[in-house]
Structure 1
Amino acid sequence: MGVVYVLENEAYLSKEGGTLKVSRRAGREVLLQKPLIAVEEIVILGNAVVTPALLKHCAQEGVGIHYLSPTGTYYAGLTRTPSKNAPARVAQFKAYLEPTWKLALAQRFVLGKIRNGLVFLRRNGAEGWEGLKEALLEAERAQDEEALRGAEGRAADLYFRAFAELLPEEFAFGERSRRPPRDPANSLLSLAYTLLAKQCESALLVAGLDPYVGYLHEVRYGRPSLALDLMEEFRSILADSVVLSLLNNRRVTLEDFDDSEGFPRLRKEAWPKFLRAWEERLNERVQHPLLGKRLAYREILLAQARILVKHLLGELPRYEPFAVR
């Protein structure tokens, strides 16, 4: 696995030769040793010390270091140096500044989101998935951003109502809630979306794009708008799929949550179960309809970022979102 998750609050991360060493209390109790050549990213939940030597190695080799809170909020990170593909970023900014092009790209992300959500609900036997067909038509016909956002909002409302019905009774929720999530199911969804956004941001950086200039999500200081755009088509098939599987298979139960701070959050002891399921899903291989070959989902995220680059540079007539069948 190329991602190392650090859950220990007093962890000490260091570089020893060509090895990543994770220990407790400044190196006195070793928790993990892993060849650095096999490490693509380091995700830290809680407080941990990272030595200057390891920071330097990660910066030079493009190994991302990401800091998340125990509830999954993304704080900050050391990411890869932007790719040398400056023409891709120039084209990206041109598309943002051209209203018709910007709307067309935003529309493609919304269509990908609704189509995959519809298939996900249908596959899982949810009632009400047919309602997404009308929202899909609305999105296809949208002539401006307001109409597109309206269609997306109606689709999201229908989707989460149907999704809630798939959950075990003790995890049922009335609506999607965030900051903070009001129930355990929403808490897990927020965690999954945080990790998905991080994966999309990394893929965009590798492809040469700026994750902070998007088309569907408005540009705001500190918001990775393009990463949020790209993740839309993957929300249901990656994040929601993992949450539904964990809860319906009872791999995560109500006892795995702590609400001492006024909202539910996954206990530290339960994080490995969540992360294991997340990595299993990212490593699952499926057929990419446009490329015609089987890829792991983590590879598909990068493939989609590169497909977006090809469109922006004029090599493809339009961006094709990834679609499940």
Structure 2
Amino acid sequence: MRQVLNTLFVMTQGSYLHLERETLKLEIDKQTKLRVPMHHIGGIVLFGNVMVSPFALHRCAEDGRSVVMLSEQGRFRARLEGPQSGNVLLRRAQHQLLDDEKRSVELMRIVVAGKLQNSRAVLLRGAREASSPEYAARLRLAADNLAGSIRALPQAIDADVLRGIEGQAAREYFDSFNALLRHNQDAFAMKGRNRRPPRDRINALLSFLYALLANECVSAVESVGLDPQVGYLHTLRPGRPGLALDLMEEFRPLLADRLALTLINRQQIKPDDFEVRPGGSVQMSEDARRTLLTAWQQRKQDEVKHEQLGQSVPIALMPMVQARLLARFIRGESAEYTPYMPR
């Protein structure tokens, strides 16, 4: 059995984390609010104005624990890692694959297929649970359109054509997103995907979840020795973890989108949990972020069946499992990469 280590999320502004022997202490206004043994922590995520002692940072780096710094709203700012121990031959193969158009397009096709298949699963599940026959029909139609996009993938031999198919399918998916809502439909209505900054409640919620998921995927690809910056579907861009974003695509619908819908439909997240800022940007309240992070951590403990492994795996480990399968494809040890697509 492998223990699933927890991630410590610190959101309270003005908090201070420091190390006391083998225990990490969280202080607020010089009062100790939390003590956690270091061996219980797999990583730390800090939101906004949170301070960490140098000794705590050094210890995390030495032990291989990542420390991620986000803005108060959840946007990535920085990441602390210890010395790199990745396999240089694997990274060389990763760069060579980028120059191999046939194999890189093959990988892109598989990544897009995984994302669209899992997006389609979300739509079909929503159609079964829809609040009205009209919404059910709308969701089934969108699912059929995504199926058409999946059928078009084998004929796409060009990277730009693949990206075009993915982009059109994503628009189709999000255009039908409102039909997945069963409560507060007007308040959470989506008018297309928008970000940086998000301009409605549902986009603020999704952007926050995507930031958390991206962090998990960066950790996963780094843990197997891959370079998170060198992606295929996501082109090279300074500061963008392209490979982590590639890996993230198959998980977006299943982990982030479904969790957002669950929190809204169960009314655990409500319209008044959001604030419209000057300029029209929307952000979640601190209490709403706490609710979301609790649900996120609980969801990560759930186990799902992994068909290739033939066993159940905690969701917390799924990005790492898929990163290892991706590394095998990049090294040439397997003929293809298979994204996670639950049956």
- Please give the TM-score of this superposition, normalised by the length of structure 1: 0.97
In 2, the alpha carbon distance for the partners of 1:74 and 1:153 equals: 24
Do the aligned partners of 1:114 and 1:155 also contact (CA within 8 Å) in 2?
yes
8 Å CA contact 2:86, 2:226 repeated in 1: no
Question: For residue 142 of structure 1, what is the aligned residue in structure 2?
Answer: 156
1:7 aligned residue? 11
By how many angstroms is 1:272 displaced? 1.1
CA 1:70–1:95: 2 relative to 1, 3 Å: same
Match 1:222 to one of 229, 233, 239: 239
Q: Aligned partners of 1:274 and 1:104: how far apart in 2?
A: 36
Q: Distance in 2 between matches of 1:175 and 1:80?
A: 39
* Separation (CA, whole Å) in 2 of partners of 1:280 and 1:163: 24
Q: Distance in 1 between matches of 2:152 and 2:161?
A: 8
Retained in 2: the 8 A contact 1:139–1:152? no
1:163 aligns with 2:177: yes
Looking at structure 1, the residues matched to 67 and 213 of structure 2 have their Cα atoms a distance apart, in angstroms, of 15
Higher alpha-carbon deviation: 82-91 or 32-41: 82-91
Paired letter, 1:133 = A
Q: State the match for 1:249 in structure 2.
A: 266
Work out which of the residue numbers 16, 22, 25 in structure 2 matches 1:18. 22
Distance 1:121 1:186 in 2: 18
**Alpha-carbon offset, residue 164 of structure 1:** 2.1
Gaps of at least 5 residues in structure 2 are: 128-138
Distance across 1 between alignment mates of 2:24 and 2:122: 38
How far off its partner does 1:86 sit?
1.9
The Cα shift of 1:173 comes to 1.3
Deviation at 1:80, TM superposition (A): 4.7
- Corresponding residue for residue 166 of structure 2: 152
* Candidates 28, 31, 34, aligned match of 1:29: 31
Structure 2 distance, partners of 1:123, 1:217, is: 28
Q: TM-score, normalised by structure 2?
A: 0.92
Shift of 1:259: 1.2
Q: 1:260 aligns with which of 277, 295, 310?
A: 277
Deviations 1:39-58 (A, max 9, x none): 11111111111111101101
Q: Please, what is the CA RMSD of the aligned residues?
A: 1.2
The residue aligned with 1:181 is 198
Residues 256 and 266, structure 1, Cα contact 8 Å, conserved in 2? yes
Q: CA deviation at 1:83?
A: 3.1
**CA deviations over 1:186-243 (Å, ceiling 9, x no partner):** 1000001111110000000111100000110001100000000000001000000110
Q: Which amino acid in the other structure matches residue 79 of structure 1? A: E
Structure 1 segments of 4 or more deviating over 6 A? none
Matched, 1:320 2:338: yes
Q: Matched residues in 1 for 2:81 and 2:176: separation?
A: 37
User: How many residue pairs align between the two structures?
Assistant: 323
Is the Cα contact below 8 Å between 1:211 and 1:227 reproduced in 2?
Answer: yes
Equivalent position to 1:100, from 86, 102, 113: 102
Percent identity between matched residues is 37
Secondary structure (helix, strand or coil) at the match of 1:56 reads helix
- Residue 281 of structure 2 aligns to a residue in which SS? coil
CA distance in 1, matches of 2:295, 2:217: 18
**Which of 38, 45, 48 is 1:46 aligned to?**
48
CA distance in 2 between counterparts of 1:83 and 1:259 reads 44
Query: Deviation at 1:79?
Result: 2.6
List alignment gaps of at least 5 residues for structure 1.
none
Structure 2 counterparts to residues 104-123 of structure 1, below 5 A? 104-123=106-125
**SS at the partner of 2:143?**
coil
Equivalent residues of 1:109, 1:233 under 8 A apart: yes
In the alignment, does 2:269 pair up with 1:269? Answer: no
2:63 alignment counterpart: 61
SS in 2 for 1:280: helix
Q: Which residue of 1 aligns with 2:133?
A: none
Query: Quick check: 86-95 or 183-192, which moved more?
Result: 86-95
Find the aligned partners of 2:121 and 2:11 in 1 and give their Cα distance: 34
